[in-house]
């Protein structure tokens, strides 16, 4: 490479980096995507170059965008045509971002795609700006019209209503000039001429419009200059002031009636004077916070002082976005402190009700509703659905959500994860001897001890009557797992105080590791439980999962399935062991011994199959058969 080419390549790389343009390359033979540092930053994968499997990209993609992203991509790659796609992705930090990718496949000598190269942009700001503009216009109570060369190219719903045109599809055939009365025509023409790129907005103009064929209305209009699809355009924002004047008395009357209605419902009414930052509260506000009318809050500073400190930023943001006209309606739920010291949940809604001549908000008003009962009910329902009622630990449902999340996080950052399955040895005996109430006390204390052994970065859950799990996601060395297990065993071996008596239990802990033992959630849980059963053979110890446990479990399952039909298939045999009288040296009796000859596993020891027969409840028919055989032998 000559110096000139090298310089061009460096300049290109610098331009890419300065423009925050990410580059990527997908190797079609391996399915791997090679991401530049900027691409990794956009996707939240770090600040260095990364390599990820192509399929991983779909795990980040918003579910509503999968079809429009995934389905058209492969045909475009095969055709070799350039593609330009926009979709949303979830970053590991939980943020949803809009990205755009542009790319093209590179073909080999045979004409088949070999790789795909492209660039990536973060277009979240652009999308949010477009959405804000849409909301500002679509929900704007003022009529908004955009003209290009005196042809209407856009009108919001308020404009459709204001001008009375029934078919919005006919907008391009009209100009706002067609709706102007003769005495206002010159004013409107001056409004059009008064704006340009250097002077993009006019002042307020009072004009008269024709609505339909005969009705005239008075409006205030503001003209603005902008570009629409690359062409110079004029935006006219109009407010019907005729209706306001005519209905002012009616509005006041309705306002008084509404105030009485709200008083009856217990809702509070508030009004904010924006320039002075002072409040006026009425309606049921006093009852909600427990103050007398004469003790009402007046300043914004005093208002924010009774709001829970964790909720203040959200409340301020909601108010500011409405005052800046980013949203038409401010809605926020938060906690306020009543005079008796209790925290109450309220929902506040508000809109701008008065502006000055320049369009700056003067007054904002709305309602305040006590929603404490609903919030408490929602919280109670959530707890019932996700928390163990006895110990307040995450239940099986919430544990699976946490574990799935930790597995996904570990998969993205390439970290290990340990799952500890903890079973209490001897708990059933405590329940049987002292009763379920004592058993509940023991379980609650065991849960506290488990939580005391585990830091806040890890999770403890109850998944069975006497079974707990620990999701260990923050460890760097294997020794930390063993130290934690030893700490749990020591803690649970200490005596439990059950009223007037003390009781002892121990614990058996099974351990499975991600991704060494399993990469899927159900498999990881199953293998930890298998390891726990091994530990339970000795009790008060811990055991790691090993591949041999799977083999043993499969063999045990086969024996369980086959012993159910062994009797009907005549696989059992009876052997007789003589018993001698040593004084007379004569056989005085014989002991009947049951043996099982399995067709594939061979002779199965009685110590293996008899406990299983007892567990399955088929030992009685087997014993009856054996008794009949022994009698017949005699």
Average pLDDT in the 216-245 region? 86
Alpha-carbon torsion, ordered 458, 460, 463, 465, to 10 deg = 160
**Token couple for 551:** 């083999």
**Token couple for 317:** 């943001």
Is residue 445 over pLDDT 90? yes
Kind plus residue range of the DSSP H or E element containing 215 = strand 215-228
Is residue 525 over pLDDT 90? yes
Residue 257 in domain: no
- The reported pLDDT for the residue numbered 555 is 67
Residue 16 in domain: yes
240 in Cβ contact with 218 (< 8 Å): yes
In this structure, are 135 and 116 located in the same domain?
A: no
- Domain end, chosen from 106, 122, 138, is at 122
- Calculate the CA 362 to chain-centre distance: 39
- The reported pLDDT for the residue numbered 469 is 96
In this structure, are 535 and 569 located in the same domain?
A: no
Is residue 549 over pLDDT 70? no
* Cross-strand pairs, 322: none
Measured CA to CA, the distance from residue 407 to residue 13 in angstroms comes to 36
Residue 274 in domain: yes
- Residue 441 banded pLDDT, cuts 50, 70, 90: very high
In this structure, are 164 and 180 located in the same domain?
A: yes
State how far the alpha carbon of 177 is from the alpha carbons of 148, 188, 210, 333, 359, in Å. 13, 8, 10, 46, 24
Average pLDDT in the 302-309 region? 86
Residue 172 in domain: yes
- The reported pLDDT for the residue numbered 423 is 94
State how far the alpha carbon of 549 is from the alpha carbons of 220, 463, 485, 616, in Å. 82, 22, 20, 22
Q: Please, what is the angle between helix 606-616 and helix 619-633, to 10°? A: 120
In this structure, are 290 and 314 located in the same domain?
A: yes
Average pLDDT in the 607-618 region? 79
Residues shown for the chain: 634
Average pLDDT in the 223-232 region? 87
Task: Map residue 465 onto helix, strand or coil.
Answer: coil
Measured CA to CA, the distance from residue 443 to residue 460 in angstroms comes to 13
**Token couple for 247:** 């209905």
Neighbours of 621 (CB within 10 A): 12
Q: Which of the pair, 404 or 7, is modelled with greater confidence?
A: 404
Average pLDDT in the 98-112 region? 87
In this structure, are 443 and 358 located in the same domain?
A: no
Q: What percent of the chain has pLDDT over 90?
A: 17
Torsion sign across C-alpha atoms 325, 328, 333, 336: positive
Measured CA to CA, the distance from residue 239 to residue 313 in angstroms comes to 33
* Cross-strand pairs, 228: 231
Measured CA to CA, the distance from residue 176 to residue 179 in angstroms comes to 6
Measured CA to CA, the distance from residue 174 to residue 172 in angstroms comes to 6
Q: Which of the pair, 168 or 50, is modelled with greater confidence?
A: 50
**Token couple for 264:** 């009856």
535 in Cβ contact with 474 (< 8 Å): no
In this structure, are 397 and 522 located in the same domain?
A: yes
Residue 203 in domain: yes
- The reported pLDDT for the residue numbered 214 is 66
Cis bond upstream, residue 448 (ω within 30): no
In this structure, are 465 and 421 located in the same domain?
A: yes
- The reported pLDDT for the residue numbered 13 is 52
Q: What confidence tens digit (pLDDT) does each residue in 418-435 have? A: 999 999 999 998 988 888
Task: Map residue 274 onto helix, strand or coil.
Answer: coil
What CATH number does the domain containing 407 carry? 3.30.70.270
Is residue 403 over pLDDT 90? yes
What CATH number does the domain containing 36 carry? 3.30.450.20
**Can you tell me which residue has the tokens 């009318």?**
293
> What is the 3-class SS of 103-172, one letter each residue?
EEEEECCCCCEEEEEEEEEECHHHHHHHHHHHHHHHCCCCEEEEEECCEEEEECHHHHHHHCCCCHHHHH
In this structure, are 352 and 464 located in the same domain?
A: no
Q: Please, what is the angle between helix 521-536 and helix 396-413, to 10°? A: 110
Average pLDDT in the 583-596 region? 83
- Non-local CB neighbours of 434 within 8 Å, separated by 6+ positions: 498, 501, 503
In this structure, are 535 and 419 located in the same domain?
A: yes
- Domain end, chosen from 336, 366, 396, is at 366
Q: 555-569: string of b/e by CB count within 10 Å (b at 16+)? A: eeeebeebbeebbee
Mean per-residue pLDDT over the chain, rounded: 83
Neighbours of 210 (CB within 10 A): 17
Task: Identify the CA nearest to 501 among candidates 590, 412, 435.
Answer: 435
Q: What is the pTM of this model?
A: 0.43
Domain count, the chain: 5
Task: Map residue 321 onto helix, strand or coil.
Answer: helix
Task: Give the lowest-confidence range in 3-12, 75-84, 282-291, 480-489.
Answer: 3-12
State how far the alpha carbon of 463 is from the alpha carbons of 391, 429, 443, 484, 521, in Å. 11, 20, 12, 20, 14
Range of the domain at 568: 553-633
Residue 188 in domain: yes
- Residue 448 banded pLDDT, cuts 50, 70, 90: very high
Instruction: Give the chain's end-to-end CA distance (angstroms, integer).
Output: 102
**Token couple for 616:** 């399955």
- The reported pLDDT for the residue numbered 11 is 45
Residue 378 in domain: no
Angle (CA) 511-517-522 rounded to 5° is 80
- The reported pLDDT for the residue numbered 16 is 55
Residue 381 in domain: no
Q: Which of the pair, 164 or 262, is modelled with greater confidence?
A: 164
For 307, which DSSP code?
B
In this structure, are 115 and 149 located in the same domain?
A: no
- The reported pLDDT for the residue numbered 359 is 86
Average pLDDT in the 16-20 region? 58
**Token couple for 283:** 């309606």
In this structure, are 90 and 163 located in the same domain?
A: no
Is residue 399 over pLDDT 60? yes
- Domain end, chosen from 544, 576, 592, is at 544
In this structure, are 351 and 400 located in the same domain?
A: no
């Amino acid at each position: 490479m000559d110096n000139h080419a090298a310089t061009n390549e460096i300049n290109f790389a610098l331009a890419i980096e300065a423009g925050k343009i990410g580059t990527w390359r997908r190797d079609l033979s391996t399915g791997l995507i090679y991401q530049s540092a900027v691409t990794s930053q956009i996707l939240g994968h770090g600040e260095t170059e990364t390599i990820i499997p192509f399929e991983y990209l779909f795990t980040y993609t918003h579910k509503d965008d999968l079809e429009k992203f995934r389905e058209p991509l492969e045909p475009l790659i095969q055709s070799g045509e350039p593609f330009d796609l926009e979709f949303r992705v979830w970053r590991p930090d939980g943020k949803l971002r809009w990205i755009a990718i542009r790319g093209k496949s590179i073909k080999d000598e045979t004409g088949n795609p070999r790789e795909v190269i492209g660039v990536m942009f973060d277009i979240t700001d652009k999308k949010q700006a477009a959405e804000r503009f849409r909301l500002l216009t679509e929900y704007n109570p003022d009529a908004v019209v955009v003209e290009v060369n005196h042809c209407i190219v856009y009108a919001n719903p308020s404009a459709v209503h204001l001008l009375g045109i029934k078919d919005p599809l006919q907008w391009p055939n009209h100009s706002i000039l067609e709706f102007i009365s003769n005495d206002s025509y010159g004013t409107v023409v001056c409004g059009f001429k008064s704006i340009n790129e250097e002077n993009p907005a006019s002042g307020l103009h009072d004009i008269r419009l024709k609505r339909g064929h005969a009705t005239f209305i008075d409006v205030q209009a503001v003209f603005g200059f902008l570009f629409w699809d690359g062409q110079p355009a004029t935006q006219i924002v109009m407010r019907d002031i005729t209706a306001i004047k005519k209905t002012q008395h009616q509005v006041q009357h309705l306002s008084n009636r509404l105030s009485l209605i709200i008083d009856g419902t217990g809702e509070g009414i508030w009004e904010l004077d924006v320039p002075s930052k002072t409040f006026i509260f009425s309606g049921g506000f006093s009852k909600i916070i427990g103050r007398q009318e004469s003790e009402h809050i007046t300043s914004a500073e005093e208002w924010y002082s009774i709001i829970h400190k964790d909720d203040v930023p959200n409340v301020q943001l909601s108010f500011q976005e409405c005052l800046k006209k980013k949203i038409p309606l401010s809605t926020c739920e938060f906690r306020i402190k009543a005079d008796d010291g209790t925290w109450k949940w309220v929902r506040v809604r508000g809109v701008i009700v008065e502006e000055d001549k320049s369009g700056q908000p003067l007054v904002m008003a709305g309602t305040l509703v006590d929603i404490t009962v609903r919030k408490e009910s929602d919280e109670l329902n959530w707890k019932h659905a996700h928390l163990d009622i006895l110990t307040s630990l995450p239940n099986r449902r919430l544990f699976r959500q946490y574990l799935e999340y930790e597995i996904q996080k570990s998969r993205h950052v390439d970290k290990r994860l340990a799952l500890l399955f903890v079973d209490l040895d001897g708990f059933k005996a405590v329940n049987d001897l002292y009763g379920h109430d004592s058993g509940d006390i023991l379980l609650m204390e065991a849960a506290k001890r488990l939580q005391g052994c585990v830091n806040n970065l890890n999770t403890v859950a109850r998944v069975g009557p006497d079974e707990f799990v620990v999701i260990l996601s923050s460890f760097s060395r294997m020794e930390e797992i063993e130290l934690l297990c030893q700490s749990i065993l020591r803690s649970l071996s200490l005596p439990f105080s059950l009223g007037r008596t003390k009781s002892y239990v121990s614990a058996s802990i099974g351990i499975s590791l991600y991704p060494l033992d399993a990469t899927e959630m159900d498999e990881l849980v199953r293998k930890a439980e298998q390891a726990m059963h091994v530990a339970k053979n000795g009790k008060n110890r811990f055991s790691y999962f090993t591949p041999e446990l799977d083999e043993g479990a499969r063999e045990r399952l086969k024996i369980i399935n086959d012993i159910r039909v062994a009797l009907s298939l005549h696989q059992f045999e009876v052997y007789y062991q003589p018993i001698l009288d040593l004084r007379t040296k004569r056989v005085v009796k014989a002991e009947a011994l049951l043996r099982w000859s399995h067709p594939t596993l061979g002779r199965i020891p009685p110590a293996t199959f008899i406990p299983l027969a007892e567990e399955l409840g088929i030992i009685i028919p087997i014993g009856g058969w054996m008794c009949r055989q022994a009698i017949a032998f005699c």
